[in-house]
């Protein structure tokens, strides 16, 4: 299907060339006409007024039906989509790709409503003929009809370079830019993919939902193309106020003055009891349940078919917690820089990654060299303090970033500044001591049994609530590539230097926790890119890329060479099995084209990936236990996109608990049946839900309709984990919201906190946490009641 648009706008009317039966004027029925048609407002692609589901509409794991007159969003009919699986959706795949190449400065819009009982997230993916795709997200609240839109081309045709950078490459540093015009419509949120698609050939428009705990439905209508309204050229300027909030809109819970912040703080402190729930033991285990063997430290045991943690006194224990109770990730890039000669460089012997550095203001000698490094970014802030003024102590610096507006530069923590505003300062940084005390009281009141990953080291000695510890294994050792290296390449676990650095990392953590029984366990590394199970090339990317390298310089390749040589003995036998023509074992060792030819080759690659996983997890486990023999090794927090079966098996065999970061609505029944075969305790290291009703321009990966819906989803998620016999806990990401303009290291700017940037708790989240924790142990282990 080819749709041609002129770039000329005549009296507010599009002039469109019609070359397919699906293009019709707004509110018109589908027509077979191929003559040039003037469209009065929007160019309708689908309005479903014919009363038939178009042939181009395909539904996966669900149904699509035309609504009756009284159920239509507008006109006579709409399309109702019912999703009957945790991963389902509707896709439009025209027989001939849409051609929108002659059009500019426009968006794809559609109307959605939801007559079901739960909000539903939709991931909108638009694909082109070059094989590229851009995914964006939205949520359809219950009982609300709204127009949503996705920009297909940016503003300001006089300066296309500016439009490309600011609108689609996000030079601002935001994960998803703020709206560039005001309306009641909802802009979809940027997720991932190629932002500039080939408009000459749009092959699919997909509305997909995944990770659902229950069946959902929504109704869609009037899928159309619209001209972008006039752009607000200052849409980024002054967006962030002195408290780190969105300055351009008002919303419930927004703080307008220091006095108001003090009043809200006093009210919360007066309400906190700081008492654990009545059925808790000293270490927050279940004192009303059976008492098992007490070892003085946390351990695991399978009890009546359910895996469990056992606390140091022998009580059953289930770990719920919140990640990032620290200031390291609270800072955001300001757009300012300094002369680099004043900035100390990172060294290979460092044990703390740049992302984990605390607030680290530059030395006074560097301050005179301060300058604007990114004007677009610097203008985002309505206010920043003077270095020698009040709150100037909350500046910091990042020497390197993964992504965002700058490769390095000045940072500022509005959250840290707000802590000083909230709690005052009676001695240097007394507000941090008060904050930590308040947070321990909060965690007890809210019912959480643990402090999650990346808690500030100062919490480790609180002796009131258990915690988990963490270390990145960094330094000089070889790395391998899976072809999808999200954060960085994976360690070459066969490199002896990797074990040496793992021991150093373990020593660092060991000194922090000091063998305390309050430490539940230790994470080492995070979200390694072990491979994606999308297809065999991505699943076995580590093997494929490593086989192409030289064994003389890559220990992993040398190890793979030895494994394959021991199996096949002769190069002729290998060539026959793999349908290759490798000249010799020397040629094999130097590197070759490792692309797939045979099933036997794939089976061997599976074994090599497993052998890599065993080497990685066993190396880390050995290093950790050499320094912390009494504590549980909690693995590396496998992301859902990076957990091939071979890696799972290796992790199960060489970790005390397998950990996963699961950004879905919960533990989907039927999707985790592989745990029965692994038969090892599991724990969720990260999950979250976010909305945009607290001033955020990006809600997060898993989207809720509003704060009340966030609380509902939190409760449902935790219940799904509690009900799974293999999971022994779940930790929410994260304690405070990400900075609206993005955290310094990578720009993440999600509404995923239990508390706002002002340190004010989200009421619905708190209530949901209390509700689920009151029933935590009876729900999990009630059948063992004394």
Residue 698: phi, psi to the nearest 5?
-145, 125
Percent of the chain residues past pLDDT 70, beyond the cut: 92
Q: Check: CB of residue 277 under 8 Å from CB of residue 287.
A: no
Percent of the chain's residues with pLDDT above 90: 85
pLDDT for the residue 35? 28
Q: What is the pLDDT of residue 21?
A: 29
Q: Give the list of residues 6+ apart from residue 428 with CB closer than 8 angstroms, or none.
A: none
End-to-end CA distance of the chain: 69
What confidence tier does 723 reach under pLDDT thresholds 50, 70, 90? very high
* Contact yes or no for 510/552 (Cβ under 8 A): no
DSSP for 402-435, please give it: SSSS-SSEEEE-HHHHHHHHHH--SSTTHHHHHH
- Asked whether 186 and 110 are in contact (CB, 8 A), the reply is no
Q: pLDDT (tens digit, 9 = 90+) per residue, 344-397?
A: 998 888 888 888 888 999 999 999 999 999 999 999 999 999 999 999 999 999
Q: Which helix (H) or strand (E) element contains residue 499?
A: helix 496-513
Nearest to 296 by CA among 280, 283, 284: 283
For residue 254, the tally of other CB atoms under 10 A from its CB is 18
Alpha carbon distance 711, 1 (integer Å):
44
Does residue 22 register a pLDDT over 50?
Answer: no
Instruction: Check the CA dihedral 521-526-528-532 and report its sign.
Output: positive
Mean pLDDT along residues 191-212: 95
Per-residue confidence (pLDDT) for residue 301, from 0 to 100: 98
The pTM score is 0.93
Which region among 3-17, 72-86, 708-722 has the lowest average model confidence (pLDDT)? Answer: 3-17
| Rounded mean pLDDT, 530-542 | 94
What pLDDT shows up at residue 405?
87
Give the model's pLDDT for residue 6.
Answer: 36
Q: Residue 156 has what pLDDT? A: 52
Q: Once rounded to an integer, what is the mean pLDDT over residues 615-630?
A: 98
Written as six digits, the tokens of 613 are 């996983």
Task: Report the phi/psi class of residue 504: left, alpha or beta, with left for phi > 0 and alpha for psi in -120 to 50.
Answer: alpha
Domain range annotation of the chain: 3-227, 274-318, 332-432
For helices 496-513 and 599-627, the axis angle rounded to 10 degrees is 40
Residue 23 has what pLDDT?
33
Cα(93)–Cα(104) distance, integer angstroms: 22
Q: 2: pLDDT confidence band, cut at 50, 70 and 90?
A: very low
Least-confidence region, from 2-11, 168-177, 437-446, 538-547: 2-11
CA 13/CA 289 separation, integer angstroms: 72
Encode pLDDT of 233-277 as tens digits. Answer: 899 999 999 999 999 999 999 999 999 999 999 999 999 999 999
What topology is assigned to 3-227 in CATH? Jelly Rolls (2.60.120)
């Amino acid at each position: 299907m080819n749709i041609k648009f002129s770039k000329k706008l005549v009296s507010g009317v599009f002039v469109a060339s019609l070359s397919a039966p699906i293009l019709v004027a707004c509110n018109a029925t589908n027509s077979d006409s191929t003559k040039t048609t003037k469209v009065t407002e929007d160019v309708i692609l689908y309005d479903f007024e014919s009363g038939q589901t178009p042939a181009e509409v395909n539904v996966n794991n669900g149904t699509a039906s035309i609504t009756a007159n009284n159920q239509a969003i507008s006109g006579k009919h709409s399309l109702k989509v019912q999703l009957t699986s945790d991963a389902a959706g509707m896709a439009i795949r025209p027989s001939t790709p849409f051609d929108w190449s002659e059009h500019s400065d426009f968006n794809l819009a559609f109307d959605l409503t939801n007559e079901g009982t739960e909000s539903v997230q939709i991931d909108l993916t638009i694909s082109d003929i070059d094989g590229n795709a851009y995914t964006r997200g939205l949520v359809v609240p219950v009982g609300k009809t709204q127009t949503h839109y996705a920009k297909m081309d940016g503003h300001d045709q006089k300066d296309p370079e500016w439009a490309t950078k600011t609108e689609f490459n996000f030079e601002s540093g935001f994960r998803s830019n703020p709206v560039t015009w005001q309306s009641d419509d909802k802009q979809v949120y940027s997720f991932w993919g190629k932002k500039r698609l080939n408009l000459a050939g749009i092959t699919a428009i997909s509305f997909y939902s995944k990770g659902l705990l229950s069946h959902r439905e929504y109704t869609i209508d009037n899928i159309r193309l619209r001209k972008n309204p006039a752009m607000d050229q200052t849409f980024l300027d002054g967006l962030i106020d002195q408290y780190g909030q969105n300055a351009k809109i008002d919303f419930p819970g927004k703080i307008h003055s220091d006095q108001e912040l003090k009043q809200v703080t006093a009210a919360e402190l007066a309400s906190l009891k700081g008492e654990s729930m009545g059925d808790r033991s000293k270490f927050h285990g279940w004192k009303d349940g059976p008492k098992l063997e007490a070892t003085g430290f946390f351990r695991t045991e399978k009890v009546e078919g359910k895996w469990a943690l056992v606390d140091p006194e022998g009580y059953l224990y289930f770990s719920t917690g919140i990640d990032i109770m620290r200031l390291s990730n609270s800072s955001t890039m300001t757009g300012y820089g300094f002369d680099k000669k004043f900035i100390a460089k990172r060294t290979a012997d460092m044990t703390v990654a740049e992302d984990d550095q605390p607030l680290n203001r530059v030395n006074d000698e560097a301050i005179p060299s301060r300058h604007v490094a990114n004007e677009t970014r610097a203008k985002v802030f309505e206010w920043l303090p003077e270095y020698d003024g009040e709150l100037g102590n909350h500046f910091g610096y990042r020497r390197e970033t993964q992504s965002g507006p700058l490769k390095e530069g000045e940072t500022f923590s509005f959250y840290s500044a707000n802590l000083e505003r909230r709690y005052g300062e009676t001695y240097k940084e007394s507000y941090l001591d008060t904050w930590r005390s308040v947070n321990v009281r909060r965690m007890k009141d809210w019912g959480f049994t643990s402090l999650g990953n990346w808690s500030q080291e100062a919490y480790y000695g609180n002796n009131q609530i258990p915690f988990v510890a963490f270390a990145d294994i960094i330094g000089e050792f070889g790395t391998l590539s899976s072809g999808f290296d999200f954060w960085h390449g994976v360690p070459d676990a066969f490199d002896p230097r990797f074990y040496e650095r793992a021991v150093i990392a373990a020593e660092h953590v060991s000194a922090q926790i000091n063998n305390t029984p309050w430490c539940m366990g230790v994470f080492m590394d995070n979200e390694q890119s072990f491979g994606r199970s999308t297809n065999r090339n991505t699943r076995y990317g580590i093997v494929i890329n490593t086989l192409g390298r030289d064994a003389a310089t890559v220990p992993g390749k040398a190890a793979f060479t030895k494994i394959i040589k021991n199996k096949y003995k002769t190069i002729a036998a290998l060539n026959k099995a793999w349908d290759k023509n490798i000249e010799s074992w020397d040629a094999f060792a130097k590197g070759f084209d490792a692309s797939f030819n045979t099933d036997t080759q794939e089976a061997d690659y599976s074994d090599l990936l497993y052998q890599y996983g065993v080497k990685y997890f066993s190396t880390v486990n050995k290093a950790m236990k050499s320094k912390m023999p009494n504590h549980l090794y909690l693995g590396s927090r496998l992301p859902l996109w990076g957990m091939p079966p071979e890696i799972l098996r290796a992790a199960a065999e060489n970790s005390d608990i397998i950990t996963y970061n699961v950004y879905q609505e919960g533990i989907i029944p039927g999707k985790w049946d592989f745990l029965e075969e692994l038969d090892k305790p599991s724990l969720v290291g990260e999950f979250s839900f976010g909305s945009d009703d607290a001033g955020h321009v990006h809600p997060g990966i898993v989207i809720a309709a509003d704060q009340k819906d966030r609380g509902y989803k939190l409760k449902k998620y935790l219940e799904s984990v509690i009900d799974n016999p293999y999971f022994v806990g779940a930790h929410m990401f994260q304690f405070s919201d990400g900075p609206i303009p993005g955290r310094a290291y990578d720009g993440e700017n999600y509404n995923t906190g239990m508390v706002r940037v002002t340190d004010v708790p989200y009421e619905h989240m708190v209530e949901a946490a209390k509700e689920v924790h009151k029933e935590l142990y009876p729900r999990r282990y009630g059948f063992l009641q004394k």
